[in-house]
Amino acid sequence: MRKINIGLLGFGNVGQGVVKILRERKQFLSEKIGLEINIKKICDKDITSRRSITVDKSMLTKNPKDIINDPQIDIMIELIGGIEPTKGYIVEALRKGKNIVTANKALLAEVGKELFAVAADCSKSIYFEASVGAGIPLIKSIREGLVANKFFNIFGIVNGTSNFILSRMSDANCSFSDALREARAKGFAEKDPTLDIEGIDSAHKLILLAYLCFGRLIAMEDIFIEGISRVSLADINYAKELGFDIKLLAIAKKDGESLEVRVHPTLIPLSNLLSSVKGVDNAIFVSSDLSGKLLFYGPGAGQLSAASAVVSDVVDLTQDIKAGMFRPTLNIVPDTSIKKLRKIEEIESRYYIRFMTVDKPGVLARISGILAKFGISIASVTQKERRKGQSVPIVMLLHEAQEKKLRAALKILDHLEIIKEKSVAIRMEET
């Protein structure tokens, strides 16, 4: 039986999961694919710490060149993360005749176009199923299963940390800080959770999804990104009373010749399937012309879930190698009907607004009067408590309004003496 040799760059949590699967399912996989997958070399900066799975010391190295320069290694799995020196390792490995499997969404979002071009020039492939949704077979489904489709919208819960925090706030009636503390204790949040809670991780993943669906590799600076750190327990509870949940959504919407690409907290109806996605689970809603509306759901993190996706990519590549065939990783065809990216100021949406105001007559009339000057109409309004002489919340749902006009109105309102805190505005989507 022909042997395909693997070099593993990164022996952390997911890397250990990959080794575990390839070892424990070796015979199972061989019978399925007619090839033997052999882990030849593992590289990590730390090769002495105890791990959940033991390997022969002769397989371990601290030097990536030991994998890159080994002519017997067919596929390099990259699981070290970051942009540099990772990019350099991948470029060098491609030029040395190796195919690449990676879970590095930040790398692909930032320099993917360059890496895919190098791969094509070398007649090698870069596969990245684990970069979005961990073990959910999303990228393969879009790239292959939906190959004949043209896409309209993407709405994704693609960051497990943020979804865990918002879910705990809702289910346990706890504050943002308490939910974040619990996420850290359970290993769902990093010591510095900025990339997750501020929406940056979601934006990286959205870039890859938009590239797959619309053929546009969008720069980070062209994505509107707003995290969840200003979402309070009060907002979650008020939204629930109104029949909504709050989720951090990665959104790409095609509207005529325009494409909106944004990440932000979003009110969605409790009847929407995305509202039932709890904990670290991910869910991605995709609408297309032929297959209609599809929902991909599953664990968005976890050692074996992510490792399963990595192994899936490895198996795909072994079949290409066995057949002596080169398939371009992303034979992307741009959607030529898209002429421009719509800026956040240009979008139109319904909104949830919370004002903290003084409790005295005439406040509501003053707020609604300023909104009316900008052509913004109120769908419903609730004054939640009465505490004479203190700040009280006024919660509004607005009819569809242009973002630019709403921002202008809120800028004026937030400087009024009757407004005691910066207002909270959260966009609404029906999906």
Q: Which three-class secondary structure state does DSSP give residue 193?
A: coil
Alpha-carbon distances, residue 408 vs 59, 345, 376 (angstroms): 61, 10, 11
Tens digit of pLDDT for each residue in 140-178? Answer: 999 889 999 999 999 999 999 999 999 999 999 999 999
Q: Was domain 3-134+303-323 assigned CATH 3.30.450.20?
A: no
Upstream peptide bond of 334 is cis (omega within 30 degrees of 0): no
151 bridge partner residues: 288
pLDDT value at position 373?
A: 97
Please give the model's pTM, rounded to 2 decimal places: 0.93
CATH node for 346-428: 3.30.70.260
The tens digit of pLDDT for each residue in 95-136 reads 999 999 999 999 999 999 899 999 999 999 999 999 999 889
Instruction: Confirm whether 205 is a catalytic residue.
Output: yes
Segment 345-367, tens digit of pLDDT: 999 999 999 999 998 889 999 99
Of 398, 395, 397, 429, give the one whose Cα is nearest residue 238: 395
Q: What is the DSSP letter of 105?
A: H
Q: In the structure, what pLDDT confidence band is assigned to residue 316 with cuts at 50, 70 and 90? A: very high
pLDDT at 306: 93
The reply to whether 3-134+303-323 and 145-298 are identical in fold is no
What is the biggest distance separating any 2 CA atoms in the chain, rounded to whole angstroms?
A: 83
Question: How high is the pLDDT of residue 335?
Answer: 85
- 124, 205, 247, 253: which one is catalytic? 205
Task: Give the residue extent of every domain in the chain.
Answer: 3-134+303-323, 145-298, 346-428
- Rounded (5°) CA angle 273-394-228: 45
The CATH label, of 3.30.930.10, 3.30.360.10, 3.20.20.70, 3.40.190.10, for the domain at 145-298 is: 3.30.360.10
